[in-house]
Amino acid sequence: MHHLAEDSLKQVWRKYFEHRDPYYRDELVKHYAYLVKITVGRIVGVVPQGLDREDLISAGTMGLIRAVDQFDPGRMVKFETYAIALIRGAVLEMLRSEDWVPRSIREKLKALDRAYIALQLQLNRPPTEEELAEALEISVEELHELQIFGARHSVLSLDEMIHGHDNDESGNFMDVLIDEDANPDAQTQERELRRLLAVSVDRLPDRERLVIALYYFEGLTFREIGAVLGVSESRVYQLHAQAVGRIRAFLSEEEFGAGGE
């Protein structure tokens, strides 16, 4: 395991920022390689058929390299936090490209997403589980199973939402939130998305906001978050799914309102 002492690590970062020398980048990537293995393990318990764990490690490493290249210490975000977000995004992108979630499940998850947004707009409040299940013509138990599956496989994750929202180049949830000054000429649309995301997360109920923070910013697994909150892992899946649903509905409300002016 390639691990630099703290003083040496600071020195390598300083030299890399000064010269952008590939040698120092390699040293940093080697030092933080453990983040890739941890993140891959947290995202994928069982590697989907047709993929090799090394494929996911390679994808995660590309995310780590991007994190090293783009990191700005002036943003007051820990490098580890930033790197985990980009590693997760790269691994999820590979999983998306492999289309490893059955089409039938994908369709059900899209229907769940559409129903949540439609009911939120219709009722002017988040729908209850009973209302959501009724709209989908399934039982509340089946709704829970669907929410858990979606959260477990990150199909309804905020990274997925950002990837498909307006601009495929947006990156992932955390990257969008903190990448304030990466492009001074960034389109107004991207800046507005960043603002709306921050506002929508702030509007979440306390528990759901904590789940989002622990999962996306601290890199905890749903099981670990359950231990923090004192609830079951499946309950955390549900809280995550509800939070993503509220955020998507909030963004849709804003778009709907803007379109109607």
Amino acid identity of residue 120, one-letter, is Q
6 occurs within a structural domain: no
Do 91 and 114 have their domain in common?
Answer: no
Q: Quote the domain boundaries for residue 46.
A: 32-98
Determine, yes or no, domain membership for 76: yes
Taking the C-alpha atoms of residue 114 and residue 117, their distance in angstroms, rounded to an integer, is 5
Q: Indicate if 112 and 190 belong to the same structural domain.
A: yes
What CATH number has the domain bearing residue 43? 1.10.1740.10
**Does 240 lie in the same domain as 220?**
yes
Q: What is the pLDDT of residues 85-127, one digit of tens each?
A: 889 888 877 776 665 666 777 788 888 878 887 887 888 877 8
- Of 74, 98, 122, which residue sits at a domain end? 98
What's the pLDDT tens digit per position in 148-183? Answer: 776 655 444 565 555 544 444 445 565 555 554 444
Could you tell me if residue 162 is inside a domain? yes
Contacts for 218-225: CB closer than 8 Å, 24+ residues apart: 218/81, 219/38, 219/39, 219/42, 219/80, 219/81, 219/84, 219/88, 220/42, 221/42, 222/151, 222/152
> Quick check: is 4 in a domain?
no
pLDDT of res. 200: 86
Please indicate, yes or no, whether residues 195 and 89 belong to a single structural domain of this protein.
Answer: no
Per the CB < 8 A criterion, the answer to whether 60 and 87 are in contact is yes
Query: Quick check: 143 pLDDT over 60?
Result: yes
Rounded distance between C-alpha atoms, residue 3 and residue 52, angstroms: 26
The four Cα atoms 144, 147, 150, 156 give a dihedral, to 10 degrees, of: 180
Domain count, the chain: 2
Assign residue 114 the CATH number of its domain. 1.10.10.10
Least confident of 37-41, 198-202, 223-227, 238-242: 238-242
Residue 217 clears pLDDT 60, i.e. is over it: yes
- In a shared domain, residues 81 and 185: no
Instruction: Record the pTM.
Output: 0.52
One domain, residues 90 and 217: no
Distance from C-alpha of 219 to C-alpha of 124, rounded to nearest angstrom:
33
Same domain, 235 and 164: yes
Number of Cβ within 10 Å of residue 126's Cβ equals 16
Residue 202 tokens, joined: 């702030």
Q: Which of 76, 98, 120 is the last residue of a domain?
A: 98
The Cα 8–Cα 231 span in angstroms is 41
> Does any domain span residue 51?
yes
